Every structure is written in C-alpha cells, then in structure tokens.
C-alpha cells in the first residue's frame, strides 16, 4: 500500500465514500458512478475518480463501479474488513451513547470495555457492559490488546487519560473531550467537538 | 470580511485555535506565540501564522499574541461574539446528551428547543426542555427564527428532517445521522460520524 504518498485528506474521504456505497447497497443497488456518488456527497465526480485512482483501478470507463466490489476494496484499504476492539473511557452521556450505539459493529468496530473513574458508576451495568474502574485502565487495555479507544471524559481529565492509553500501547484515539491532546507522533488522534463544527458554519452565516 | 478568498480548510482551523486560546485563558495565561499554539495542536507555527494573517494583524513580531485580544478577534470573525439559538431534532441518546451538554453556551450556542417524532417522548421533560412534536417542526423553527439545527435522528429519517429544516429557513445543519445530506448550496452542513473518524485512523494502523 503506497500510504506514504497519499494525502491524509484523501484518506479521510474514503470512509465517506464507503458509507455512501454501503447505503446504496442497502437500497438494493448494484452499480454506481462517480457522478452519482458525487451528487450524494456534494463532491465533484472528478475528485472522486482522482481519489480512488490513487488506490487502484476500481471501475471501467463507461460501466461505472460495482458497488459491492468497491465497498469491499475500500474496507480492505481502510482495514475495516476485520473488527477492531474499542474501549470507551468515560461513561457520561456521550460515552454511554457510544457504548449503546449499534452502528459501530457492522462498520468495523466493537466496543469491548467501558471505563469510568467515578466510584458511583464503577460496577454499574451500561447496556451489555459492566463499567470498569479507570484505575485499572493501563493494565486492562494492555491485557486485552486494545489499540483503539474513545475518550469521552471531561476536558480536565482527557490528557491524563490519553497518556495512560499511550502507555498501554493504544495507537488510535477518538477524542470527544473539547481539548487538543498531545500524543507521540506514532499515535493517531481524531477530535469530535460539535462546537468547532458549529463555529465553522457560523463564519459563513 | 474577505471570506470569498479564504479556503474553507483555513476557516475550519479557526475554531481549533480559538478553543486552545480559551483554554490558555482559563489557565490564567495572557500572552502566547504561534510556536506554543502549534505545539498544543500539532500544527506548525508557520501554518498558524499564515492562517491568522489572512484575517489581519494580531500579534507583533517578537512579542507574540495577546490571548484575550486574539480570542475576541477570532470570536468576532467566527460570529460567536453573540449567542446562536439551536434546535436539537431527535431526542435519542445523542440528542439528549447534546440537550444536556453545558459546553455549548459559553462558546456561542444555546439549545432553545428539542424535537422528537416518537409519541412516547413528546411532552416528556429532558433537562430544562419539554420535548416538542416533530410534526410541528417547520412552523416552530420558523416562528422562533432558528437558523442552526442539530439533527440526531436515525439515518432513514435524516434527509426528510433536513428538507423540513431547509423549508423552515435553517441555514446551518450539524448532522449526527450516519448519512450524507443533500441540501441547497446556500445551506451549510457539517457531519459528525464517529465511524468515519475511526476508519480514517485504522487506515494507518
């Protein structure tokens, strides 16, 4: 995989393409085109063709893309042709919502454990999970070989939690705390903060 | 404001800069530098200087940025020097979490109303809100002059809800449903889907 040469922003669009293709498959569709994907996503057909061409030849001129084939290929490229175990750290509103969310499992991820540091919450049941004591975070993540975590703790606690995850060998963090995390360069972080998205839009209002 | 000429991706970084500055202010800091902001965010100092220079002169060579002044300027540029009313549509786990979230109000947004279409939920209390019937969505959004909504309904319902919001005069949609929405070009949409973020990271694992 020539991952070195492919811009991060292109990689970031692949999950969007995959999601659109999987939705088309659910609708019973078999074939699509860069034009149609583009219309659904508000991205130009030329951009989609250019992005996909960086990873291989997925369609024939004039006949379009086979939806199932292209989905499979994108899943392989994104490494979600397998299921990744995920730990959720922080069983507040967002953490609880994620632990109960059933939209992860068919897209490559499965929540395996949920942690919180609040003694009132530790030991409680959250859907199928018993909330674990965040005091044992490093050991438990390491023992379960968890590589991906979702951090949904308050901003003031997030960096400490991230440091522990790194110590435990985690290599990807999805951070819901409204703070930028500092991690070593080999660890990936993505941030989800609704306010930054809202502020991005108000600029244009 | 020369908004036409400024790339969307640059605008998208301003909320991140603002968040970092506000955090520094909370820490009691008064002055910072592009180097320091860059270290916190994992962005180069040169990139930050280049981004900010598109909007004006905010610091002096050698003395750095006054944190409060730069925060104020960014708030003005992003139009969050005021408070925007927001409606949350869909009172499931995510919608409920957002309605209860107290991290919006000091960053430019205030949830004003919460809607759901489930008769079992309509009329129930959710924090300070009485859940409204989504059947009256268009009229109520219009009457309250709501310009910004958060859609947190299932994927299958999201496009219909978005169409109604557009009809009601909404100009910015933050969409948590895992589907790309089609809206007229004058309406802004941002998507939050944890799985696309996770898949972006697994590519590199």
Given an 8 Å threshold on Cβ–Cβ distance, is A178 in contact with B205? no
Residue B115 near residue B138 (C-beta atoms within 8 A): no
Would you state the pLDDT for residue B105?
86
Across the interface, whether the CB atoms of B148 and A202 are under 8 A apart is answered yes
Q: How confident is the model at residue A109 (pLDDT cuts 50, 70, 90)?
A: very high
Q: Residue A80 in 3-state DSSP?
A: coil
So what's the pLDDT on residue B50? Answer: 94
Report whether pLDDT(A2) > 60.
Answer: no
Average pLDDT, stretch A93-117? 94
**Cα gap A7→B170, rounded to integer Å:** 34
| Portion of chain B with pLDDT greater than 70, in percent | 98
Q: Judge: A16–B180 Cβ closer than 8 Å, yes or no.
A: yes
Contact A79 B200 (CB under 8 A): no
Dist. CA A205–CA B192, nearest whole Å: 20
* Residues of B whose CB is below 8 A from A179: 19, 23
Residue A196: partners with Cβ closer than 8 Å, 6 or more residues away: B12, B15, B16, B19
d(CA A205, CA B79): 8
d(CA B92, CA B18): 30
Q: Which residues of B touch A155 (CB under 8 A)?
A: 23
Angstroms from A134 CA to nearest CA on chain B? 22
For the segment B178-200, what is each residue's pLDDT rounded down to a tens digit?
999 999 999 999 999 999 999 99
- Could you give the CA distance from residue B148 to residue A205 in angstroms, rounded to a whole number? 10
User: Are the beta carbons of B193 and A19 separated by less than 8 Å?
Assistant: yes
Per-residue pLDDT of B29-68, as tens digits, reads 999 999 999 999 989 999 999 999 999 888 777 788 999 9
Predicted confidence (pLDDT) at residue A4 exceeds the cutoff of 80: no
Asked if the model's pLDDT at residue A132 lies above 90, the reply is: yes
What is the average pLDDT across B74-101?
96
Give residue B174's pLDDT.
98
Q: Whole-angstrom Cα distance, residue A83 to residue A191?
A: 21
Would you call A86 and B198 a contact, using CB atoms and an 8 Å cutoff?
yes
The Cα B107–Cα B83 span in angstroms is 8
Residue B122, pLDDT > 70, answer: yes
The SS3 of residue A191 is: strand
Q: Which of B14, B174, B195 sits opposite A15 (nearest CB)?
A: B195
Looking at the complex, report in whole angstroms how far the Cα of residue A112 sits from the nearest Cα belonging to chain B: 15
What percent of chain B has a predicted confidence (pLDDT) above 90?
A: 90
Does the pLDDT value for residue A50 go beyond 80? yes
* pLDDT of amino acid B4: 56
The pTM (predicted TM-score) of the whole model is 0.93
Closest-CA residue of B relative to A12 is: B200
Regarding beta strands A188-191 and B109-116, do their DSSP bridges make them parallel or antiparallel, or are they unpaired?
Answer: unpaired
């Amino acid at each position: 995989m020539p991952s070195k040469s492919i811009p991060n922003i292109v990689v970031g669009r692949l999950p969007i393409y995959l999601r659109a293709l999987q939705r088309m498959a659910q609708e019973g569709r078999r074939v699509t085109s860069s034009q149609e994907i583009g219309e659904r996503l508000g991205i130009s057909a030329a951009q989609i063709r250019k992005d996909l061409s960086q990873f291989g030849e997925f369609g024939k001129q004039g006949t379009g893309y086979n939806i199932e084939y292209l989905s499979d290929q994108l899943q392989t490229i994104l490494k979600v042709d397998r299921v990744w175990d995920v730990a959720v750290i922080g069983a507040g509103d967002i953490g609880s919502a994620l632990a109960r969310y059933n939209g992860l499992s068919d897209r490559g991820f499965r929540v395996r454990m949920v942690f919180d540091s609040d003694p009132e919450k530790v030991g409680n049941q959250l859907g199928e999970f018993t909330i674990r004591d965040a005091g044992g975070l490093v050991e438990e993540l390491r023992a379960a070989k968890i590589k991906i975590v979702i951090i949904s703790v308050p901003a003031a606690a997030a960096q400490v939690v991230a440091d522990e995850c790194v110590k435990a060998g985690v290599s990807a963090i999805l951070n819901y705390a409204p703070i930028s995390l500092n991690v070593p360069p080999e660890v990936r972080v993505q941030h989800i903060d609704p306010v930054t998205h809202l502020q991005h839009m108000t600029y244009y209002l």
